[in-house]
Every structure is written in structure tokens, then in C-alpha cells.
Chain A
Amino acid sequence: MNISPVHYIALPLLAAFLIPLLSKLHKELARIVPGLVFLYFLVISVVLMQRLETQPMISEVIAGWSAPWGINLVFTPFSGFLVSLMSFIGFLVWVYSYHFKKIDYMPAQKYFILLMMLVTGSIGIVLTGDIFNLFVFLEIVAISAYSLTAFYPGRDGAEAAFKYLLVGSFASALILLAIVILYTQTGTLNMADLAVKMHEVPHYLKVIIFVLFLVGFGIEAEMFPLNGWAPDAYSQAPGPIGAVFAGIVVKGGIYALVRVVYTIFDLSGVGTILIALGLVTMIIAELAALRQDNLKRMLAYSSIGQMGVVLIAFGIGTDTAIFAALFLMLNHALIKSMLFFSASYLLYNSTTKTIKELTGMAKHLPFVSFIFALGAFAIVGLPPFSGFWSKLYFLMAAADAQMVLLIITVLSVSVIEIIYYFRVIGKIYSKDETSELEPKKPTINSVLVMTVLGALIIIIGVYPDLVTDWIHHASDALVNKSNYIQNVLTENLPR
């Protein structure tokens, strides 16, 4: 059996259906099997990325019906980049949460199934080449995300999840509407085929479809003004799930948006809309983060702000800008998940999760505090860390496009970022010890995860060339739309 992209979907599903039976056999299997699946994800990623060096992309048909007739999975360097990133973060989250034998009094089996499907659904969004199949994967992600948000039996989790569910089902209704209109006009659901037939669609219908997709996927990508669900969901979900939301789920939403904008529609005229939306998202989110006193909500708003920057970069749309956008996504995934991991230890026994409670935490938890400080330095873009390079590339791309106002805005927003992150660091490292929180010693696996992430951030910061080739490959693949269409539509069956 050759390794092919469909393994990303088939094996976790097999594992998810088997786990209820396996855990009757032995309790521990419910925790171990998802880990094996994540490990296998990493193996497939490495093998497939190597295969991409000899061929431009891997397009796999499902059920033996070639591209427009059946569903297909497309593994381009761009989707490969995101999938590898998601598998890596997913694996780290699994390692981090491995010691969850029981979450409060809930058996952890359901947690691991939902976590695995959350990652699998996001990978499915990235891999699929069919617009309705994308919707199905979006629903897989959505349902597991709702359940995980309400996972703790406390009262606010259910409310955050209900809010998320309302907004999410509105989004999926809009996406379905867009799919209906698109189908009546083109008679196909394959994204490459849609891109070919898009010129048959009257212009005003194009606009309507675009707005429906933009709002629908924008909700998943935390775009203004529909991101009200995000801070609640981030702060109420179990600690590592915040990392999954920031590192994986949002990336899926951004991918769907970008795939629709870049492949199905032409970019002309759309870029300015993305830039404007990204700017508003960024400014409002960073201002909101400044006045938060809840640490997790602050991190969530900061995450929304970063997504705004990514949207701006995709909106500029030049080669360098897309390169910067992908670099920003990579850094955001690594750094934000590290911040969420360390924050959930800093706030372990807190009920209100406010920043005030952190005063003097560095004495009790030197390692975790150090990791948090490292992440904060990296995400605001200080030089020796990886966040610096992505911000630099972004500013260079904006300068190439001669958007001076944009550069000034982003720089001043960075100042806001520095203010609120340093306020937290100042509290953690403050001398007067008033914290009443009972510190929880980090377990070995979580220390391992944070060390790996911290080391990666420093290594990428010192040698950015390690990843730039990879990202260049990915951004070229996104820009080269005709290559995508040609490869998908002329794919022959493997027989």
C-alpha cells in the first residue's frame, strides 16, 4: 500500500471508530492510539513532502472517478506546508495532554477522540479539492470544537459553546447558500473545474457568491466583525485546546478563504477588501487585547489580531506578501500554541484567569514563566526570535507594494502588542510576591513540548534559511493557479 494523502483521513477515522472498542480491551489504548495516529501523520508528511520534490503536486482521486466527477484530494506544496504544520502541532498537543487520565471526573477517552477529529477535520479542509467536501470537513471541525469548548462541566463553557455554535451554524448556512448558487451556474463542485467555468457566471452573481463565502469562511478565520465567539471559546476550552484553535482550526478557516479567493475567484478587486477587513480586524482586536484583564482572552484577541495581519498579507497578493503570510502563519502556530501551553500552567488553579493573579509567579514556576516570556518576545517580533523575520518580510512586502500608511499602522499596532505583553511579563516577574494561586509543577511531557517549541523558535530565529525554501515552495504553488487546475483536471487514474 503506497502512502498517499487519503491516509490522513482514512486512518484517523478508522482509529476513531475503533477506540470505543479498544478501550474496552485496555483503558490506556484510548490515549495511545491517537498518539500513534499523530505520529503516522508526521511520517506521511515527511514522505509526501519528499515526493513533492520530483513532481509539482500529488492529486489523488477517491472511489476511482477522476477529477470533476468524483472527490479528489490535492497535496500541493502549499497544502503540504499547512498539513505538516497541523500534524506537528497536533502531535505536540497530544504529548502535552497525554497525562490527562481524567479531566475533572470525565474519562479522557472522549477528549482524545474529539481532539483527533478536530485535527483530522482541519487537515481534510486543507487537502480536499471539492467545495462540498470542504463543507463536510468544516462541520467535522465545528462539531468537535463545540463539544470541546463545553468540555469542562462548569457553567461558562456551555455558554461559550452555544455562542460558537450559533455563529458557526450561521456560517455553514451561508456557505451552503453559496454552494447552491455556484452549482446552478456551473454544474460542478470540483474547485479546479469551478475555476475554469467561473467565467460563465454573471458578474453580479459572482459578487453575491463571493460575499457569502467571505462571511462564511471569515467566521471560521476569526475575521471582523464575526469573531465574537473566539475569545470565549479560547478561554473556556481546556488549556491545550486553545493551542489547537489558534494553531490548527483558524489555519483551516484561513486556508478555505484563501483557496476560494485565489483559485475560484480572480484576485482583482478582492485584494483591497481583504486588506481593509484585515486592518479593521487587527486594530480592533489589538485594542481589545489591551483592555483585557483575563489572560486567555488577551491571548485570543492577540491571535485574532495576528490573523488580521495574515489577511492583509494575503490581500496584498504579491509573491513576497504571500511568502510573508505563510511565514506569519507558521510563526503564529508555533508561538501561540507555546503561549497557550505555558499560560494554562500559569493559571492552573485559577478560576477567574485574570492577569493580576499572576503576580510573582516566576518564583514558583521559573521554567514556565521563562517560556511565556520567550513566546511574548517572539510574537511581538523582537530580533533573535522567529517572529522577527516574519514581521520583517511582511513589512518588506508592504514596502514593495508602496503602502506606507499600512506600514505605519502595523508598526503602531506592534507597539500596542508590546505594551500588553510586557505588562503581563512585568506582573509575572514582579518582586512583591502576592500571588495566591497554588502553582502546579509542570509534568515532564509538557516541559518537553514547551522546550521543543522554544528551541524551534530560537533556531528559526537564528537560521531563518532553514524554513524559507520550504515556504517559498508553498507560496509559489498558491500563486500558480493554472498549474493547480491543470494538474487536478488531467490527473489519470493510477491503473
Chain B
Amino acid sequence: MNSLHTYLFIALVLFCIGLFGLLKRRSLIGMLISVELMLNGAGLNFMAFNRFLAPDPAVGQVAVLFIMGIAAAEAAIALSLILALFRKIRSVNVEQARQLKG
């Protein structure tokens, strides 16, 4: 409970579950949720280092706050893109969005 490794592994598992979801989900919203999971994993990592290693406990918290801010921004942008795409192709299935294929 009080070891760095425990937290790092929890964060890692969270990250990998998020990654798995990101790769697997075809729903854009599902992918967005997975990205949030990954971000949380990263934030957890920061806090773990902050708690066990860092010289100044405030710095890690700052970083996590930044991550949250970025996550919020990203979510906003992503959701708006999803909505725009949905209007275009009437679906949020990423496999339908294949305009990049030559």
C-alpha cells in the first residue's frame, strides 16, 4: 500500500486498459473514454512519484492539474469533432470514416 511500485502498476494497468480500449473500440465516444482512462493513468503516475520521490510535493499536483485541464480541453474538442463527423456520416463508428483511404 505504501510502496511506489504498487501505485505505478495500478497506473500502468489503468493505462493499458485505456490503450486496449482505444485500439479496440470502434465508437469514437468509446475511444474518447479510453483516452480519459489513459490520462488518468498518467496522472496517477505523477501523484505516485510526488508522494514517494519528489522533493516538492506541490509540483506533482500541479502537473496533475495540468493534465486535467488538458483532458477537459481535449474532451471538448473531441466531442465537437465527433458531433461534426456524426452529422457528416451519420455514425460514430470510426471504421466508417475512411476518407483517408486513397
Chain B associates with chain A:
no
Which residues does B use to contact A, with CB under 8 Å? none
Which residues does A use to contact B, with CB under 8 Å? none
